[in-house]
Amino acid sequence: RSHHILDVDPYRGTAFSWSISAIMTLEIALQSYPILWLLGWSWTWSTVGLVAGVGFHAAVWQALHPAMHGLPDPPLAYGMPGWLLARFRESPYFRFLYVNHVGHHRVPGAHANYNVCYPLADHLFGTYAGVIPPKA
């Protein structure tokens, strides 16, 4: 049985709403600004980098993750629209991301291949499990 939160969410937790995107942006800003400033980045360029990184992540996520789970593209009214990058779903990059993330659902307890959009993070944090074939 699924959790009530998933039942009321039309994307069943696979897409980021605007409110979730705002919370994530704040969390990332709190972590990244001090590091970027220590590296000598100005407030302006730190903000440009943050917005570009978070925006690209959201666009890739919304185009890929709901569709992976058989759900429709989120519209602009919900969050970053999935249709922005939908045309790239058949690209080698998106196919790689798809195969990588499917492994997340094949590992017991889903404890690997967490990062849908930036799999390098799984390599850096030791959570990369490689390509996991389906069970026979």
Predicted local confidence at residue 74, as pLDDT: 95
CA contacts within 13 A on the Cβ side of 43? 0
d(CA 75, CA 15): 10
pLDDT tens per residue across span 63-80: 999 998 889 999 999 999
Can you list the alpha helix ranges (DSSP code H) found in the chain? 4-8, 18-38, 43-68, 92-106, 120-125
The rounded distance, in Å, linking the Cα atoms of 67 and 10 is 13
37-62 pLDDT, tens digit per residue, is 999 999 999 999 999 999 999 999 99
> What pLDDT digit, counting tens, does each position of 82-114 carry?
999 999 999 999 998 988 888 888 888 888 888
Round to whole Å and give the CA distance between 110 and 73. 24
pTM: 0.83
